[in-house]
Amino acid sequence: FFFFFPGNKELEPLKYTKVAAAAAVSRRKAEACMQGTTSLLSHCLGKGENVALVLRDVGVLLIEGVRVHMKFYPGFLERLLGKETAEKVFKVPQLLDLMVSQVAPMASLTFSGRVIVFP
């Protein structure tokens, strides 16, 4: 089934089988992991906490009050854009705020220190 949102936007349910295959885990494990993560995220946001959601090999989604922004790992941008284009992006000072190092302490990115790591 589908969920409908204002503006005629549809939200398609996750395809746990595809996620499980990509992660090389069972469907049950993939579903439990995703549901657990979304439940924890929902709980934190419901309490008004700031959250850093770490998405392995992609970057960090930062939610601070009503402000939401994404910081990407340079390696992800390189895979997404291609090495040549990514190198140009890395040289633009205004875009450096969109990146974060994979070795950066994630708790330092959010005021509350609440960090959720999505495997």
**What is the model's pLDDT at position 9?**
65
**What is the model's pLDDT at position 5?**
54
CB–CB of 53/118 below 8 Å?
yes
Confidence class for position 17, pLDDT limits 50, 70, 90: very high
Report the predicted TM-score, pTM, of the whole model to 2 decimal places.
0.73
Domain that holds residue 33: 14-47
In a domain, 4, yes or no: no
Same domain, 42 and 22: yes
Same domain, 60 and 32: no
Same domain, 31 and 87: no
pLDDT at 21 over 90: yes
Distance set, CA 66 to CA 21, 25, 51, 115 (Å):
35, 35, 11, 17
Same domain, 58 and 43: no
Q: Which two tokens stand for residue 91?
A: 């040289």
Same domain, 55 and 77: yes
Same domain, 38 and 69: no
**What is the model's pLDDT at position 2?**
46
In a domain, 94, yes or no: yes
